[in-house]
């Protein structure tokens, strides 16, 4: 008879199909799940994020027990708990008599380092298995990236489309083109009302977690009022079904739109559940593709949605593991300004920033354009320190884990990797925000003014950013027009820009 094994399940591995549970012997093997104070506080995670993860973990443990598995669950409020995974697992190994521990590789570099070092020193056999929930392995990505100077998501995405036959017909992309992004940039009409998101009232398990977080982490960012997220696979499947039926048809048209006091719009909010393990990426992709095949959603919406999962999600994970740990230290533009207090809720007269921070504070959520083109764009333009920006994005969003957060911040938002991911910085003036939202209509600043006390700060900060970073950016071919326009400005115009930026940044500090 084989000896019993301990199976460690991490908080973002809540799937019955996870590799660490494959070949499990329900009668002999023991599953261990741990709520650890160190994981809740290595950054001060948003309160709603903590509730989502811990409640989902407890519900998953309940499911495992109902299916007949032996489960050891360690709660945050257990008096004899340990502070880290290694000591907790060693304790359970010794108590259970297991000498073999099976773990699916964690999604964050810091944890993998811990487990690999422990693997070398432990008396037990520590088996690290690949996380096969992704459609591309880290080795697949490394092979694709070999010899490429720039790692563009678009070409990686096309490769995966071909490999899996997704939105393909006779070897060619359905609709005759790979990317329908140009069709997905419409501003949302004022009289269009998106469907309300799926809501789930907290059960006794979730309510216990809410009380625990409220009491134990009162100083963490965010609020806990109105927690309504899915915490089980069954609920997550309901969210997926509702999105496909009610939101996907218009998701493409309005995926870049923003609206005052309306964070949900036509977005799916499924990243919460895919990144936790409650949903499988492949099943989400297949649901969207089926909607197109059944003529329930247009191609621009379905392709745009699938690109976020099959393209961006797989791509950033591959880039993260290819480039870490050096990627974390990138600061190509030598940005060093402290992250302003407005990101933590301090008052700002810039309505777009206020709206996006408030959405984040209340919901642990903001959609990708809010994150990239408002909050991220501002951090880029003012020269915010990448380490502080990365920490903020990691702790405030319920779907944020370092493998997905860091490449998006370092590469897409801050251009801190010098162009490995993006072909140019995603810098923009107030005109973009005005075009894609109604934020400017409710702002004290005038988006049409370029300089001065009443001008939208994005306008002069954009040109000041280009002037400050001329040495690093002027030769970028995608910024040629911008620099030609900057060079055509009169000396007085450039001085007005620099003076407006100087005054604003001084007040910001």
Q: What are the pLDDT digits (tens) for 416-455? A: 999 999 999 999 999 999 999 999 999 999 999 999 999 9
Claim to verify: residue 165 and residue 25 sit in the same structural domain = no
- Computed over every residue of the chain, the mean pLDDT equals 95
- Using alpha carbons, select from 294, 300, 235, 302 the residue that is nearest to residue 270: 235
In this structure, is residue 280 part of a structural domain? yes
Q: CA 345 to CA 361: how far, in whole Å?
A: 8
In this structure, is residue 408 part of a structural domain? yes
pLDDT confidence tier of residue 1, bands split at 50, 70 and 90: low
pLDDT of residue 47: 98
CATH number for position 422: 1.10.579.10
Show which of 97, 129, 161 is a domain's final residue: 129
- Using alpha carbons, select from 378, 389, 383, 472 the residue that is nearest to residue 427: 378
Claim to verify: residue 84 and residue 113 sit in the same structural domain = yes
Q: CA 64 to CA 83: how far, in whole Å?
A: 24
Claim to verify: residue 124 and residue 56 sit in the same structural domain = yes
Which residue did the predictor score with more confidence, 77 or 330?
330
pLDDT of residue 437: 97
- Using alpha carbons, select from 54, 37, 34 the residue that is nearest to residue 398: 54
User: Are residues 224 and 267 in contact, defined by beta-carbon separation less than 8 angstroms?
Assistant: no
Does the bond joining 122 to the residue before it have cis omega, within 30 degrees of 0?
no
Q: What are the pLDDT digits (tens) for 119-128? A: 999 989 999 9
- Using alpha carbons, select from 129, 130, 109, 106 the residue that is nearest to residue 5: 129
Residue 269 has pLDDT above 60, yes or no: yes
User: Are residues 235 and 200 in contact, defined by beta-carbon separation less than 8 angstroms?
Assistant: yes
The CA-atom distances, in angstroms, between 444 and each of 196, 315, 350, 496 are 30, 39, 7, 20
- What is the DSSP track for 87-129? HHHHHHHHHH---EEEEEPPSSHHHHHHHHHHHHH-SSEEEEE
pLDDT of residue 463: 98
Q: What are the pLDDT digits (tens) for 182-235? A: 888 898 999 999 999 999 999 999 999 999 999 999 999 999 999 999 999 999
Claim to verify: residue 117 and residue 177 sit in the same structural domain = no
In this structure, is residue 335 part of a structural domain? no
Stretch 293-297: mean pLDDT, rounded? 97
Stretch 270-275: mean pLDDT, rounded? 98
Claim to verify: residue 377 and residue 445 sit in the same structural domain = yes
Residue 83 has pLDDT above 80, yes or no: no
Claim to verify: residue 391 and residue 460 sit in the same structural domain = yes
CATH number for position 186: 1.25.40.80
Q: Counting Cβ atoms within 10 Å, is residue 159 exposed (0-12), middle (13-18) or buried (19+)?
A: middle
Claim to verify: residue 425 and residue 447 sit in the same structural domain = yes
Residue 2 has pLDDT above 80, yes or no: no
pLDDT confidence tier of residue 406, bands split at 50, 70 and 90: very high
Convert 459-495 to b/e letters by CB count within 10 Å (16 or more is b): bbbbbbbbbbbeeebeebeebeebbeebeeeeeeeee
Q: Tell me which DSSP letter residue 243 carries.
A: I
pLDDT of residue 136: 96
User: Are residues 240 and 282 in contact, defined by beta-carbon separation less than 8 angstroms?
Assistant: no
Show which of 82, 104, 129 is a domain's final residue: 129
pLDDT of residue 509: 82
Residue 493 has pLDDT above 80, yes or no: yes
Q: What are the pLDDT digits (tens) for 18-44? A: 999 999 999 999 999 999 999 999 999
pTM of this prediction? 0.95
- Using alpha carbons, select from 491, 360, 374 the residue that is nearest to residue 440: 374
Claim to verify: residue 123 and residue 142 sit in the same structural domain = no
Number of domains in the chain: 3
In this structure, is residue 210 part of a structural domain? no
In this structure, is residue 65 part of a structural domain? yes
Claim to verify: residue 154 and residue 179 sit in the same structural domain = yes
In this structure, is residue 155 part of a structural domain? yes
Show which of 129, 151, 181 is a domain's final residue: 129
- Around 246, how many Cα atoms within 13 Å sit in the side-chain half-sphere? 18
pLDDT confidence tier of residue 407, bands split at 50, 70 and 90: very high
> Residues with Cβ < 8 Å from 92, sequence gap 6 or more?
6, 30, 32, 72, 98
pLDDT confidence tier of residue 77, bands split at 50, 70 and 90: confident
pLDDT of residue 94: 87
In this structure, is residue 224 part of a structural domain? no
In this structure, is residue 207 part of a structural domain? no
Claim to verify: residue 286 and residue 161 sit in the same structural domain = yes
pLDDT of residue 330: 97
pLDDT of residue 408: 97
Residue 154 has pLDDT above 70, yes or no: yes
pLDDT of residue 489: 96
Claim to verify: residue 118 and residue 142 sit in the same structural domain = no
CATH number for position 96: 3.40.50.620
User: Are residues 367 and 342 in contact, defined by beta-carbon separation less than 8 angstroms?
Assistant: no
Report the percent of the chain where pLDDT is more than 90. Answer: 92
- What is the DSSP track for 323-362? HTTGGGG--TT---BPPPGGGGT---S-HHHHHHHHHHHH
pLDDT of residue 182: 82
Residue range(s) defining the domain that contains residue 288: 138-201+230-323
Claim to verify: residue 297 and residue 256 sit in the same structural domain = yes
pLDDT confidence tier of residue 273, bands split at 50, 70 and 90: very high
């Amino acid at each position: 008879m084989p000896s019993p094994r301990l199976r460690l399940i991490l908080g973002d591995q809540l799937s019955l199909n996870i590799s660490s549970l494959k070949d499990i012997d329900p009668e002999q093997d023991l599953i261990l799940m741990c709520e650890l104070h160190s994981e809740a506080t290595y950054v001060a995670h948003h309160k709603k994020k903590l509730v989502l993860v811990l409640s989902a973990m407890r519900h998953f443990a309940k499911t495992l027990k109902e299916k007949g598995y032996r489960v050891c669950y360690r709660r945050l409020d257990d008096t004899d708990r340990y502070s880290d995974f290694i000591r907790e697992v060693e304790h359970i190994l010794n108590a259970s008599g297991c000498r073999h521990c099976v773990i699916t590789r964690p999604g964050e570099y810091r944890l993998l380092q811990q487990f690999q070092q422990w693997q070398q020193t432990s008396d037990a056999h520590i088996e690290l298995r690949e996380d096969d929930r992704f459609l591309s392995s880290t080795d697949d990505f490394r092979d694709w990236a070999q010899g490429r100077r720039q790692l563009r998501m678009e070409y990686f995405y096309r490769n995966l489309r071909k490999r899996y036959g997704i939105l393909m017909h006779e070897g060619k992309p359905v609709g005759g083109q790979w990317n329908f992004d140009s069709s997905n940039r419409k501003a949302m009409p004022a009289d269009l009302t998106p469907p309300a998101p799926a809501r789930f009232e907290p059960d006794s398990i979730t309510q216990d977690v809410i009380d625990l977080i409220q009491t134990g982490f009162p100083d963490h960012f965010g609020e806990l009022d109105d927690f309504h997220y899915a915490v089980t696979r069954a609920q997550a499947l309901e969210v997926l079904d509702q999105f496909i039926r009610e939101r996907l048809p218009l998701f493409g048209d309005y995926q870049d739109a923003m609206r005052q006091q309306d964070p949900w719009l036509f977005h799916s909010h499924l990243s919460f559940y895919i990144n936790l393990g409650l949903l499988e990426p492949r099943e989400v992709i297949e649901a969207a593709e089926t909607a197109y095949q059944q003529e329930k959603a247009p191609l621009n919406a379905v392709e745009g949605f699938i690109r976020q999962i099959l393209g961006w999600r797989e791509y950033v994970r591959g880039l993260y593991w290819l480039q870490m740990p050096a990627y974390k230290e990138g600061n190509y533009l030598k940005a060093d300004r402290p992250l302003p207090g407005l990101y933590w809720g301090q008052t700002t007269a810039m309505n777009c920033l206020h709206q996006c921070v408030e959405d984040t504070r209340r919901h642990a959520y903001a959609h990708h354009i809010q994150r990239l083109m408002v909050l991220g764009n501002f951090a880029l333009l003012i020269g915010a320190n990448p380490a502080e920006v990365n920490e903020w994005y990691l702790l405030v969003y319920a779907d944020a884990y370092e493998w997905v957060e860091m490449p998006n911040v370092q590469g897409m938002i801050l251009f801190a990797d010098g162009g490995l991911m993006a072909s140019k910085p995603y810098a923009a003036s107030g005109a973009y925000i005005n075009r894609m939202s109604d934020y400017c209509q409710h702002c004290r600043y005038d988006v049409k003014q370029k300089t001065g006390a009443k001008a939208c700060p994005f306008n002069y900060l954009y040109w000041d950013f280009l002037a400050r970073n001329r040495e690093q950016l002027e030769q970028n071919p995608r910024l040629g027009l911008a620099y030609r326009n900057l060079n055509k400005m009169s000396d007085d115009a450039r001085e007005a820009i620099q003076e407006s930026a100087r005054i604003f940044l001084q007040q910001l500090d």
